[in-house]
Chain A
Amino acid sequence: MAVSFYGQDVVSPLMLGTAQYPSPEILRDAVLAAQPGVVTVSLRRESAGERAGQAFWSLIQELKVPVLPNTAGCHTVKEAVTTAHMAREVFGTDWVKLEVIGELDTLQPDVFGLVEAARILTEDGFKVFPYTTEDLVVAEKLLAVGCEVLMPWGAPIGSGKGLNNVFGLRAMRAHFPGVPLVVDAGIGVPSHAAQALELGYDAVLINTAVAKAGDPVNMARAFRLAVEAGELARIADPMEERDMAVPSTPVAGKAMLA
């Protein structure tokens, strides 16, 4: 049941963000509880005095989970490309979660800039994980410029609304049967993650749902169990939906009591 991105197997379909936890200790315990296949990280300005980034880097190294740096907060192709280059040097990986944000209220990706940035970065040797929408035309263009993974949103980042367009996500799965697909953004509770896996998605990327839970460590564990359940359910081949009832208890042999 291994998930593979750009030829590299990861141990779990759960990808976990590292932001917004109450403390570094809770972040570490949440990662240990979630047992994610990947953790996402970012870059910010470093103060020579505080060196906050150095302490965070030590923590990440201790966790021994593959890192996926993001370009969060970038609104232009140039910003995203430059950030990706800086991330590659700092984190020592050519993986990049490419975000080019187009709209502030929804943090919806600017899909035009996204395709352009993905093209440039792929040519520069990056393995791009594009944060996109469920738009099939955009997805085709991302694959055409070299992306080998697609990460459509479930709902706006941090909203916790789950899979807002199940029809669209299902269509995407059906349209790209061989492409690793990750629901990134919008997942609020473990059942949303299980649903994504049941739909045939290869992985989910969670951050706020764990970090902002009342008990992040137990929520991390709940997500680990949810992705395991969803993955197992997909393999077990769910039943077809029906519009009308069909009795599950056999009618034959029923006593005549009327």
Chain B
Amino acid sequence: MKVVVNDTAHEVSAKTLAALIDELGYSGARIATALNGRFVPKATRDETPLEEGAQIEIVAPMQGG
């Protein structure tokens, strides 16, 4: 299935957001996720299904003012 992660298209086999995190190599990273513009807490990623064309944001700590 094709999904868009951080504005880049990916062809993935993951069916859930948790599986996608693992498939793309973010395992163990301190990140937060959003699906189609809505925050998805870490605890609910494994029960969050992905659909064709899903827009996913994966963010992490960054310098800020």
Binding site for B on A (CB under 8 A): 17-21, 27, 40-49, 51-54, 56-57, 60, 69-70, 72, 78, 82, 85-87, 89-91, 157, 205, 207-208
Contact = CB atoms under 8 A, between A and B. Distances in A.
B63 interface: yes
A18 B64 contact: yes
Contacts of B58: 45-46
Interface residues of B, number: 25
B1 interface: no
A72 B61 contact: no
Contacts of B38: 82
Question: Which residue, of B7, B25, B62, B63, has the highest number of chain A Cβ atoms within 10 A?
Answer: B63
Main secondary structure of the interface of A (DSSP, over half): mixed
27 contacts: A41-B62, A41-B63, A43-B62, A45-B6, A45-B57, A45-B60, A46-B6, A46-B59, A52-B60, A53-B29, A53-B61, A54-B29, A54-B60, A56-B61, A56-B63, A57-B61, A60-B61, A69-B64, A70-B64, A72-B64, A72-B65, A82-B39, A85-B41, A90-B30, A90-B31, A90-B61, A157-B65
A17 B61 contact: no
B63 A57 contact: no
A68 to B, nearest CB: 9
